[in-house]
């Protein structure tokens, strides 16, 4: 099984959304038994909390249920448990590189590198912004999720 971990700062907005969108995509494609999906935050501020209600509402409008998720913090062992670690922005990427054990950095990617058409390399943090930010986050995540799945199909399935 290929295992994929999405990581943002709080694990209550962007990475839970990516976990939900990507899981929904692979289940729709009949790949639920082939690919494992999880998410985590570089920070510990929201550990144990469900996703932000604004993220849940925006995802629900697109048929993605985030309600069962609970936030956890990323740990060094994630680099031996997951094949792909997808950072939502360059800050997260830098913090994850610092967390990575020597020789395991190749597992780490910037998520939007799988969305080459996107106008940005960072999924913007919607936490302090308006509701529109959550839909923009979903647009970016849906595009990168399709790109990531195409990459996994090509290299592993």
- Residue 125 bears catalytic tag: yes
Residue 150 contacts residue 22 (beta carbons within 8 Å): no
Residue 86 contacts residue 109 (beta carbons within 8 Å): yes
- Residue 14 bears catalytic tag: yes
In whole angstroms, the minimum distance from the beta carbon of 73 to ligand 4NP comes to 12
Select 56 or 152, whichever has its Cβ closest to ligand 4NP: 56
Which residues are at the interface with ligand 4NP (CB under 6 A)? 8-14, 45-46, 125, 127
In whole angstroms, the minimum distance from the beta carbon of 146 to ligand 4NP comes to 20
CA 67 to chain centre: 16
Residue 71 contacts residue 47 (beta carbons within 8 Å): yes
- Residue 83 bears catalytic tag: no
Identify the sign of the CA torsion 96, 9, 43, 55.
negative
Of the residues 52, 89, 122, 125, only one is catalytic, namely 125
Of the residues 13, 14, 107, 122, only one is catalytic, namely 14
Point out the residues that are catalytic. 8, 14, 125
């Amino acid at each position: 099984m290929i295992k994929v971990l999405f990581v943002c700062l709080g694990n209550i907005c962007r990475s839970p959304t990516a976990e939900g969108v990507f899981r929904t995509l692979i289940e729709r494609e009949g790949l639920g038994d082939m690919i494992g999906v999880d998410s985590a935050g570089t920070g510990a501020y929201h550990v144990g909390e469900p996703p932000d209600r604004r993220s849940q509402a925006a995802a629900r409008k697109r048929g993605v249920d985030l309600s069962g998720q609970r936030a956890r913090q990323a740990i060094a062992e994630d680099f031996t448990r997951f094949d792909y670690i997808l950072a939502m922005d360059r800050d997260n990427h830098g913090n994850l590189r610092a967390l990575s054990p020597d020789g395991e950095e190749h597992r780490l990617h910037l998520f939007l590198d799988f969305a080459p058409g996107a106008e940005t390399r960072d999924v913007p943090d919607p936490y302090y912004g308006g509701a529109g930010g959550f839909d923009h986050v979903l647009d970016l995540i849906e595009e990168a999720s399709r790109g990531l799945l195409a990459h996994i199909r090509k290299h592993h399935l």
